[in-house]
């Protein structure tokens, strides 16, 4: 299959004609009852009820006066994704028959390519409406995505989607010639349509749709219309887009070079716009208790942070948590955010070895700096929640010893999330692992990528091996239990290999995984009894009282 060159030169987002249309849409309220007579569009998210893109495009369509539906086809149940059933496909087909869309757009991430193929095959059985794919997989691999979709949006999609609406309004289902939208010509050659410039003013992009009309959720063999996010205690918000780093295992390592010359990659909504979004959700989401800012650059820019903190405090925003690369954390910004309600910060360590973190993962920050930042956060009253990647073939037993020493030196009690190293096609880390023979092409098939990410995203301990590195990784996996026994096992395992201790570590790791992901009732009750016993023995019954009160409140 050949390529033919881009049909038109990229245009600056400042001069992009569609930007004026976006500004008009931004100032238009969304419809409350769907417009009759115009084009109908259907957006599909795969395995993500929280999908920012699909919620965003549904709202963009509503504010554009387009009759839009959003289908959330299955949810992201970490390590426990449920397979697609015939009943669920049946619900999707019934919706397609009822809606009779003029266009179907599917948001696709690499782990869900097999699911996308299955869902799009079902779409094609019911309608001949063109299928457009967007998201990370089509952006990174547009040619492959054209194997399952008619059109592929490369890069950010708002301006492309507005152009699609114009075509549909004009009665056309031929989307060729739209900048940023790839397709195949009559000879089957890929037509490279480049990508749009990045929208610089994020305030122009409507807030995502929550609890709005024409949203459909399919999971556990059921179809329902009420948005589960409206029952959540969390208000999940993206205040910005982009990142300043290019970690070798992250999609930004590809997106940043791809967007050079396309406008500023790191962008934030204005503080007033972010706060308006949070307060709107607070007013409509009755159980909302806290906000989570899901960005990598929240609290990086001094002026923005000062203005946000002051205004958020005055607006009475709920307590919130955020993420930040440790290297970018500044004490004055943390103190301002704490005044506004910051209580927890996600903090990526990823490897305990300075060398592996910087040379292999291409991530900034040495252990000494991470410790300094974590201690400063603790002093400011902020709980640190660390992320660490296990199963990294570049890590050695010595690197895991360093991880344990680093974690032990962190402010306690420690919150720790452990993830398994994933290999996504074309990422620099994947390319290096391939080159060094640590993985093979067989590990990168669509099914293999799906299997590993759907069922082993949160590290699933390998309890069948007793080598030193595996035992140390399993010790790290146990650290969130924060018990004297776990720390003792971790420290002793660092000092020397001992088969008896190794067997204990693997047994406990298997137990923890069963508790967290397999809900084995006998083990769950055993752990509960042990926790109650520990609380009683230490006289610390506060936690028990709080849990019982919460359980009681939920049941009444």
List interacting residues with ligand SF4 (CB under 6 A). 243, 245-247, 250, 252, 296, 325, 363
- For ligand SF4, which is the closer residue by CB, 228 or 242? 242
Token reading at 105: 């757009």
SS (H, E, C) 450-494: HHHHHHCCECCCCCCCCCHHHHHHHHHHHHHHCCHHHHHHHHHHH
- For ligand SF4, which is the closer residue by CB, 254 or 397? 254
Taking CA atoms, 325 is separated from 181, 297, 351, 408, 529, in Å, by 33, 8, 13, 20, 38
CB of 416 to ligand SF4, least distance (A): 17
Give Cβ neighbours of residue 158 (< 8 Å, ≥ 6 apart). Answer: 22, 56, 57, 60, 199, 205
85 and 223 Cβ atoms separated by less than 8 Å: no
Token reading at 467: 């080598």
- For ligand SF4, which is the closer residue by CB, 322 or 486? 322
- For ligand SF4, which is the closer residue by CB, 88 or 295? 295
340 and 346 Cβ atoms separated by less than 8 Å: no
CB of 371 to ligand SF4, least distance (A): 19
State which H helix or E strand residue 231 sits in: none
CB of 251 to ligand SF4, least distance (A): 7
The span from the CA of 283 to the CA of 60, in Å, is 21
CB of 444 to ligand SF4, least distance (A): 20
284 and 230 Cβ atoms separated by less than 8 Å: yes
**Sign of CA pseudo-dihedral 486, 489, 492, 493:** negative
The span from the CA of 220 to the CA of 14, in Å, is 45
Question: Which of 482, 479, 469 minimizes the C-alpha distance to 509?
Answer: 479
- For ligand SF4, which is the closer residue by CB, 349 or 478? 349
Token reading at 489: 């096992």
CB of 390 to ligand SF4, least distance (A): 16
- For ligand SF4, which is the closer residue by CB, 99 or 356? 356
66 and 209 Cβ atoms separated by less than 8 Å: no
46 and 119 Cβ atoms separated by less than 8 Å: yes
State which H helix or E strand residue 145 sits in: helix 142-145
CB of 429 to ligand SF4, least distance (A): 11
The span from the CA of 369 to the CA of 239, in Å, is 26
- For ligand SF4, which is the closer residue by CB, 156 or 401? 156
CB of 508 to ligand SF4, least distance (A): 30
Torsion angle of the four alpha carbons 287, 289, 290, 291, in this order, in degrees rounded to the nearest 10:
30
- For ligand SF4, which is the closer residue by CB, 266 or 397? 266
The span from the CA of 108 to the CA of 119, in Å, is 11
Peptide bond into 264 cis (omega under 30): no
- For ligand SF4, which is the closer residue by CB, 92 or 239? 239
CB of 55 to ligand SF4, least distance (A): 20
CB of 216 to ligand SF4, least distance (A): 31
- For ligand SF4, which is the closer residue by CB, 150 or 296? 296
CB of 366 to ligand SF4, least distance (A): 15
Instruction: Decide: helix, strand or coil at residue 131.
Output: strand
The span from the CA of 69 to the CA of 40, in Å, is 8
- For ligand SF4, which is the closer residue by CB, 252 or 277? 252
- For ligand SF4, which is the closer residue by CB, 21 or 292? 292
Token reading at 64: 């554009």
The span from the CA of 328 to the CA of 244, in Å, is 10
Residue 125 pairs in a beta bridge with none
User: What does the buried/exposed string (b/e) look like for 175-199 if buried means 16 or more CB atoms within 10 Å of the residue's CB?
Assistant: beebbbbbbbeeeeebbbbbbbbbb
- For ligand SF4, which is the closer residue by CB, 122 or 246? 246
CB count in 10 Å sphere of residue 326: 22
CB of 176 to ligand SF4, least distance (A): 34
């Amino acid at each position: 299959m050949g390529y033919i060159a881009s049909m038109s030169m990229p245009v600056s987002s400042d001069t992009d004609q569609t930007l004026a249309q976006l500004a008009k849409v931004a100032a238009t309220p969304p419809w409350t009852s769907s417009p009759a007579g115009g084009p109908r569009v259907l957006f599909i998210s795969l395995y993500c009820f929280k999908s920012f893109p699909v919620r965003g495009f549904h709202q963009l369509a509503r504010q554009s006066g387009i009759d839009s539906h959003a289908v959330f086809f299955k949810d992201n149940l970490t390590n426990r994704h449920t397979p697609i059933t015939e009943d669920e496909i049946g619900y999707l087909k019934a919706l397609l028959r009822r809606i009779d869309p003029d266009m179907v757009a599917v948001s696709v991430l690499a782990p869900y390519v097999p699911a996308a193929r299955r869902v799009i095959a079902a779409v094609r059985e019911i309608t001949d409406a063109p299928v457009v794919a967007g998201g990370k997989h089509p952006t990174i691999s547009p040619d492959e995505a054209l194997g399952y979709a008619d059109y592929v949006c490369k890069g950010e999609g708002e301006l492309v989607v507005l152009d699609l609406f114009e075509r549909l309004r004009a009665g056309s289902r031929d989307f060729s010639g739209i900048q940023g939208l790839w397709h195949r010509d009559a000879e089957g050659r890929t037509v490279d349509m480049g990508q749009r410039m990045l929208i610089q003013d994020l305030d122009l992009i409507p807030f995502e749709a929550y609890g709005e009309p024409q949203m459909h959720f399919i999971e556990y063999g059921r179809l329902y219309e009420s948005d589960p996010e409206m029952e959540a205690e969390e208000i999940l918000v993206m205040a910005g887009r982009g990142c300043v780093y290019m970690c070798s295992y992250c999609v930004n390592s590809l997106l940043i070079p791809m967007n050079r010359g396309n406008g500023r990659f790191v962008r934030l909504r204005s503080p007033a716009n972010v706060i308006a979004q949070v307060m709107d959700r607070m007013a409509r989401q009755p159980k909302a208790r806290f906000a989570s800012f899901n960005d990598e650059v929240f609290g990086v820019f001094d002026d923005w942070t000062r203005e946000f903190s002051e205004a958020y405090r005055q607006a009475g925003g709920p307590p919130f948590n955020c993420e930040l690369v440790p290297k970018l954390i500044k004490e004055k910004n943390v103190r301002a955010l704490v005044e506004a309600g910051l209580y927890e910060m996600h903090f990526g360590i990823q490897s305990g070895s300075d060398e592996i973190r910087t040379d292999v993962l291409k991530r900034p920050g040495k252990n000494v700096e991470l410790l300094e930042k974590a201690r400063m956060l603790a002093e400011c009253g902020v709980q640190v929640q660390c992320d660490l990647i296990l199963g990294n073939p570049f890590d050695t037993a010595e690197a895991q010893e360093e991880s344990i020493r680093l974690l032990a030196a962190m402010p306690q009690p420690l919150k720790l999330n452990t993830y398994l190293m994933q290999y996504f096609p074309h990422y620099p880390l994947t390319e290096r692992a391939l080159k060094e023979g640590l993985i093979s092409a067989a590990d990168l098939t669509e099914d293999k990528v799906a299997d590993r990410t759907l069922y082993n995203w949160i590290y699933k301990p390998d309890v069948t091996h007793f080598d030193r590195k595996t035992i140390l990784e399993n010790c790290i996996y146990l650290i969130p239990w924060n018990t004297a026994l776990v720390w003792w096992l971790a420290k002793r395992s660092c000092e020397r290999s001992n088969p008896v201790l190794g067997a204990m570590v693997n047994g406990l790791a298997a137990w923890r995984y069963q508790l967290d992901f397999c809900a084995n009732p006998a083990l769950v009750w055993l752990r509960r009894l042990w926790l109650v016993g520990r609380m009683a023995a230490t006289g610390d019954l506060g936690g028990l009282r709080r849990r019982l009160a919460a359980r009681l409140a939920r049941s009444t």
